[in-house]
């Protein structure tokens, strides 16, 4: 007599279920921080069919998003409205974190007054979401920071702050009595319209194999390529390397620009000639100083961390010193240019063109224009500014200007027009024609020949 048994399919693990839900787009994504990184990411998830909630402590941003409005120039309101129709919403209530399957943290990581990492935004966010964590959630940090932050700071806060005594997956044995954690650095480039967001490869470093698999699957659903690294620390260091590479090379051309001026050589001509080489060279361009939330800040995160290992990052520190001095150099060159016209800087009317940290963006963070305006005022200049993206510049952590955007109708009424940000909307031919003196820090007047122009 024979007997037959019915074979039962093997039980599915919790993370198999999560992977299936990611594939089916039935995976709720919460993104904390609706700024220049978090909002584009939320829209990308929404475009790919994921239910998305954006979290922010700024109630004005929450209200704007829920009304279908945008507060970032490069993101049209139509994109917000389309996402709203697909179910996207914003909230300031962190209790809703408990209903998410993934929580992605995109909050600022500035420097404090001593040029050391200020991780208060990460710390406060971790404390806010920890009480609402539940089993099998995926938490991903995207904020740029020093290697070790995810495992040394974020995970202990999440472990200790949740009432159910859940713990993050262990990197050593792969066990997880609670939730999963990964780090994936943001790679936003404001103003870059040549590379679609989906085409920017996404680096992922998970705390253990399941965290890695889940994070890679989630990002793989919205990015065309994901790149796995062995740990969150490796992913954190990857982001720093990318920005330090740019910082050091910009410092190099900024220093060479000053040397070339003394030698009577056009640095931009030299760069254009050098970049014709099809290998071994990438063009970087000088300017009035570094701006944005990444390049002026991130290298100092690694310098600070390196000191814990009794290691001094001299290359990084020297590059930072050169770049930080550029606004002072610009003011000195402006004073020299005015002097050539028999005018002192003290008492001269100076119009600064562009205060955004780079062309065609509405972002003031760490902009060298803010330092330049402050230095000009300290030297006694009567300063105005014009920028199509900023009707007013008030006060920030490192500046207090309280200026209103000036008109471009009376350029001849200024002793000097100082080009700091080369927005595409400016008519540089007209600016040179109408101004008494133009000091150009961006080579914006390239191709225009005039004795009025001083390039620095």
Angle between helices 314-340 and 298-307 (to 10 degrees): 140
**Angle, CA of 272, 278 and 284, to the nearest 5°:** 40
- Phi/psi for 395 (5° steps) reads -130, 150
In sequence order, what are the residues at sequence separation of 6 or more whose Cβ sits closer than 8 angstroms to the Cβ of residue 272? Answer: 283
Element (H, E) at 269: helix 267-274
**DSSP, residue by residue, 288-339:** S---SSSTTTHHHHHHHHHHTTT---HHHHHHHHHHHHHHHHHHHHHHHHHH
405 given a catalytic annotation: no
Q: Strand, coil or helix: what is 16?
A: helix
Q: How far apart are CA 127 and CA 96, in angstroms?
A: 14
Q: Report whether 147 contacts 237 (CB < 8 A).
A: yes
Q: How far apart are CA 124 and CA 141, in angstroms?
A: 13
Element (H, E) at 400: strand 400-404
* N residues, the chain: 456
What dihedral do alpha carbons 37, 38, 44, 47 form, nearest 10°?
-150
In sequence order, what are the residues at sequence separation of 6 or more whose Cβ sits closer than 8 angstroms to the Cβ of residue 173? Answer: none
Exposed/middle/buried for residue 128 (C-beta within 10 Å: 0-12, 13-18, 19+): middle
Using alpha carbons, select from 202, 138, 211 the residue that is nearest to residue 174. Answer: 211
- Phi/psi for 5 (5° steps) reads -120, 145
- Per annotation, catalytic residue among 247, 294, 416, 456: 294
| Cα distances (angstroms) measured from residue 263 to each of 119, 266, 454 | 44, 9, 15
Angle between helices 314-340 and 368-378 (to 10 degrees): 50
Across the strands, what pairs with 281?
A: none
Q: How far apart are CA 431 and CA 367, in angstroms?
A: 22
Q: How far apart are CA 208 and CA 181, in angstroms?
A: 8
Q: How far apart are CA 198 and CA 190, in angstroms?
A: 15
- Which positions are annotated as active-site residues? 294
């Amino acid at each position: 007599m024979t007997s037959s048994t019915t074979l039962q399919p093997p039980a599915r693990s919790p993370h198999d279920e999560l992977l299936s839900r990611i594939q089916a787009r039935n995976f709720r994504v919460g993104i904390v921080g609706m700024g220049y990184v978090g909002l584009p990411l939320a829209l990308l998830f929404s475009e790919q069919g994921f239910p998305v909630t954006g979290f922010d402590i700024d109630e004005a941003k929450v209200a704007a998003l829920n009304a279908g409005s945008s507060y970032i120039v490069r993101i049209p309101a139509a994109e917000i409205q389309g996402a709203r129709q697909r179910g996207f919403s914003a909230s300031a209530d962190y209790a809703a974190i408990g209903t998410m399957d993934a929580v992605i943290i995109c909050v600022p990581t500035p420097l404090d007054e001593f040029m050391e990492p200020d991780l208060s935004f990460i710390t406060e966010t971790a404390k806010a979401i920890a009480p609402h964590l539940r089993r099998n959630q995926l938490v991903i940090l995207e904020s740029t920071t020093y290697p070790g932050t995810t495992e040394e700071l974020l995970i202990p806060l999440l472990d200790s702050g949740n009432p159910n005594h859940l713990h993050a997956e262990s990197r050593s044995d792969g066990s997880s009595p609670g939730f999963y954690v990964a780090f994936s650095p943001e790679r936003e480039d404001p103003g870059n319209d040549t590379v679609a967001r989906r085409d920017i490869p996404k680096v992922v470093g998970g705390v253990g194999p399941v965290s890695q698999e889940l994070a890679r699957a989630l990002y793989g659903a919205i990015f065309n390529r994901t790149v796995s690294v062995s740990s969150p620390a490796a992913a954190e260091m990857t982001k720093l390397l990318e920005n330090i590479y740019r910082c050091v090379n910009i410092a190099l051309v900024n220093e060479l620009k000053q040397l070339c001026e003394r030698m009577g050589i056009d640095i931009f001509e030299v760069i254009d000639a050098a970049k014709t080489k099809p290998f071994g060279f990438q063009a970087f361009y000088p300017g009035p100083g570094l701006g944005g939330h990444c390049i002026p800040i991130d290298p100092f995160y690694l310098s600070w961390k390196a000191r814990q290992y009794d290691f001094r990052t001299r290359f990084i520190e020297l590059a930072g010193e050169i770049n930080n001095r550029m606004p002072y150099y610009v003011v000195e060159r402006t004073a020299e240019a005015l002097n050539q016209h028999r005018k002192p800087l003290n008492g001269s009317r100076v119009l600064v063109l562009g205060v955004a940290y780079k062309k065609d963006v509405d972002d003031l963070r760490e902009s060298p224009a803010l330092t330049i305006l402050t230095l000009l005022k300290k030297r006694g200049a009567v300063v105005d500014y014009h920028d199509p993206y900023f009707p007013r510049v008030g006060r920030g952590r490192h500046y207090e200007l309280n200026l209103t955007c000036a008109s471009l109708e009376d350029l001849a009424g200024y002793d000097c027009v100082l080009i700091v940000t080369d927005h595409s909307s400016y008519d540089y031919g007209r600016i040179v024609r109408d101004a008494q003196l133009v000091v150009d820090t961006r080579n914006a007047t390239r191709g225009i020949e005039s004795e009025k122009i001083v390039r620095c």
